[in-house]
A = this chain, B = another copy of it.
Amino acid sequence: MRQDFQSEFASVSSSLVTMAKAVRDAMRQASTALLTADYTLAQQVTDNDAQVDVLYRVVDDRVFNLVLRRQPITGDLRSALSALQAATDLERMGDLAVHVARATLRRYPATAAAPELADLFRAMSTVADQLAAKIVVALSHGDEALAGQLDGDDDAMDQLHRQLFQVMLSSDWPLGVEAAVDGALLGRYYERYADRAVNVGRHVMSLAAKS
């Protein structure tokens, strides 16, 4: 019974890896679109999100059927439920990439990333990409140690997030309200993306520890 569970669970894990790669690509493309005011690329990010949503439903469906048919033992059940939660977080990471893309679409042909903030957004997108890259590897190999590193990366994101607000709220902020509102929301999207990535890492640890 246990072996049956685990061989079927491999297809769930493989869908999670595909999801993680997709939401990594989505945020990378959304960031490039943001920093270069690329309408077509931003549009592509919003169009591609449907694929992530489909993958979410695939994971949900597979986990459900697996638990229903295989009546898993403790560790296997924990893995199954962690996979479901990881899929929820990954789906939301895809949505957050779409939010970044939509900010680009909304301001086009102008930019949603004020020049004064572009370096910070570049740094935030780099941290987001590192987090997503680690999740892909951690999910692929059930790498508990790697998943544990995510908290540190998230601290870097939080620090950039604080810096962003310092720049916008300083007395010599040269731009208007619109640029600051865009900045605040974009900062929040990156911060939430990183936070969700840390959640996925926790689920991976739970997958790895119990399986």
Chain A positions near chain B (C-beta within 8 angstroms) = 64, 67-68, 71-74, 77-78, 81, 84-85, 88, 165, 168-169, 173, 176-178, 180-181, 183-185, 188
Contacts of A68 in B (CB 8 A): 72-74, 77
- Cβ-neighbour of A168 out of B71, B77, B81, B177 (below 8 A): B177
* CB nearest neighbor in B for A192: B192
Question: How many identical subunits does the complex contain?
Answer: 2
15 A-B pairs whose Cβ atoms sit less than 8 Å apart in the complex: A64-B78, A64-B81, A68-B74, A68-B77, A84-B84, A88-B88, A168-B177, A168-B181, A169-B177, A177-B180, A181-B184, A184-B185, A185-B185, A185-B188, A188-B188
- Within the complex, the shortest CB–CB distance from A154 to chain B, in Å, comes to 16
- Within the complex, the shortest CB–CB distance from A102 to chain B, in Å, comes to 13
Q: Is the interface of A mostly helix, strand, loop or mixed?
A: helix
- Within the complex, the shortest CB–CB distance from A202 to chain B, in Å, comes to 13
